[in-house]
Amino acid sequence: MTTGIIEKLEDVTPNVLGAMSGAESARLRTVMESFVRHIHAFAQEVKLTEAEYDLGIEFLNRIGQATHDSHNEGILFADAIGFSTLVCLLNNGNDGATETAAALLGPFWRANSPRTANGGSIVRSTTPGPELFVACEIVDVAGKPIAGAEVDVWQSSPVGLYENQDDTQADMNLRGKFTTDAAGRFSFRSVKPAGYPVPTDGPVGDLLRAQNRHPYRPAHIHFLGFKQGYKTLITQVFVDDDEHLETDVVFGVTRALVGDYRRIDAGEPPAPSVQAPWYTLNYRFVMEAGEAVLPKPPIK
């Protein structure tokens, strides 16, 4: 550990780095040394004023104050500046060469979604909207089906709200946990999701307004695939006709994740009482071999 009395501006960064050099963890030293260099360089590059410094600290404090069991403002902030997507793509999918393109987890995943039989419905309370029938398969990088994978599914309602945001929806509405069969397949019945604005009543909303940005995400369904021996797959499949595909507020849309939500206007309905139009989605997911680790749920 090397520190000294600060004589001039140029002394600050090396003194801080010296003070941190005694950390036993090599990874902690690497991460924190780079962080300090970059944030000190940032302050010097923009000639950060004391008023701006105070505003930034207040902004970070407000993020913490706005986070609670049913909302995670910290993740929302990381999403809104593209940081979540950057880290996600940095760590998953071998640049798209093998695994299905990953996507950010988002702030709305909950653990313990209801186990649902293949072909079952995740509509757990009255949810008006076009019916959607989803059929998926999960394979490894060689194309071999992955049986016994657990797949969490969650989505917003056609009014653009997740059930934890909406008192009119039943608990765990539009959420389910499926298990792939011997052919690596799972399927379910739902309603077509809608795009929605991210919450804007906190500091992230203030930031978006200051930057003249809209708060909308394109419509999508979230998928989380988990099985021992495979890297956990966290992804989303976007509705292909959504107006915000190219301007997603959290920068989460990649070309591989735009699905074919096919509208059906006539023919034999896939289930009794289904009326046209209804939609279908077929999608193939690829999982890489690796360590199976579940993320920490951002909300309860």
Task: For residue range 255-295, list pLDDT tens digits in order.
Answer: 889 999 999 999 988 888 898 999 999 999 999 999 899 98
* Number of structural domains in the chain: 2
3-state secondary structure (DSSP) of residue 194 = coil
What pLDDT is recorded for position 88?
82
Domain that holds residue 15: 9-48
- Count of helix runs (H) and strand runs (E) in the chain: 6, 10
How far is the CA of 15 from the CAs of 4, 24, 36, 185, 215, in angstroms? 6, 18, 11, 57, 41
**Residue 16 CB neighbours (<10 A):** 16
Q: 64 in a domain, yes or no?
A: no
In a domain, 74, yes or no: no
Same domain, 44 and 176: no
Domain shared by 94 and 33, yes or no: no
Name the pTM for this structure: 0.86
- Cα–chain center distance at 101: 12
159-218 pLDDT, tens digit each: 888 998 889 999 999 999 999 999 999 999 999 999 999 999 999 999 999 999 999 999
Distances (CA, A) of 88 to 59, 63, 200, 220, 273: 24, 21, 24, 17, 41
Residue 109 has a CB neighbour count (10 Å cut-off) of: 22
Question: Chain-wide mean pLDDT for the chain?
Answer: 92
Query: Are 242 and 129 part of one and the same domain?
Result: yes
The answer to whether residues 21 and 98 belong to one domain is: no
Summarised one tens digit per residue, pLDDT across range 101-143 is 677 787 789 998 999 999 999 999 999 999 999 999 999 999 9
Whether residue 90 is found in the same domain as residue 219: yes
Do 246 and 172 share a structural domain? yes
d(CA 132, CA 162): 17
Residue 54 lies in a domain: no
Determine, yes or no, domain membership for 245: yes
The number of beta carbons lying within 10 Å of the beta carbon of residue 142 is: 7
CATH number, domain with residue 254:
2.60.130.10
Distance from the Cα of residue 289 to its chain's centroid: 21
- Asked if the model's pLDDT at residue 43 lies above 90, the reply is yes
Residue 71 and residue 200: Cα distance in Å, rounded? 12
